[in-house]
Structure 1
Amino acid sequence: MRTVYPLVRYRDPDAAIEWLGKAFGFEEHGVSRDEAGVVKHAELTVGTGMVMLGKGDPGGPGIYVAVDDPDAHNDRAVAAGARITMELTDQSYGSREYACEDPEGNIWYFGTYRP
């Protein structure tokens, strides 16, 4: 594994991006939007740290782990009994990734993301 990123979902990601900048000093590193202009994925940085966010129901953060081989990583997780919540997919922002739940329901994302 290379890097771990916290991931937070917001009902209104544009408002969250603005507020996180004003309140905590985060700056936009990159934003990917769908055809309707809705934020699919955003990266905010402060210093050398980064958080990811996107549209969704709040209720708990996720964890994004950058890996070199998401296909092999996915196979290992499935073999261990992980419940896949997002199939391995090539994303429009350049990452190949999947998501799964751990035994207590926490969501983990694994992919090739490189900031």
Structure 2
Amino acid sequence: MTDSKTPPPQVWPTLHATDARALIRFLVDAFGFSETAVHGEGDRVDHCELSWPPGGGIMLGSVRDDPDSPWRLLPGTFGAYVVADDIDALHERAVAAGAEIVREPFTTDYGSRDFTARDPEGNLWQFGTYRGEPRR
């Protein structure tokens, strides 16, 4: 489905959470994701899309107790690098929201400004200004 509001194709990492609704609130408050869609009843989240303002996003849902599911992801095993512009302001926001900071803001040897945090489920998030090498 495409229309003027549908974003172009992108990669959307996916994770499962023990308390998906709490994780959604945390990711919105601490890091600035935008809640685009949340489907499910009560505490269960069947499908959630959180958009990252500069583009792309993540999908998440409640962990499923289905050993036969081909899409079985363990909570707390996810890691992502997220491109952002104002790393120091984002770091301050994350700290104010109670994020566990694993590594304070630093500058890499290739010029990126980064910091690393862990969410309440144990997932690692590295935010940085590095946008990748130019494509050939």
Computing the radius of gyration from Cα coordinates, the structure with the larger value is 2
Which of the pair is proportionally richer in strand?
A: 1
Q: Relative CO higher for 1 or 2, CA cutoff 8 Å, sep ≥ 6?
A: 1
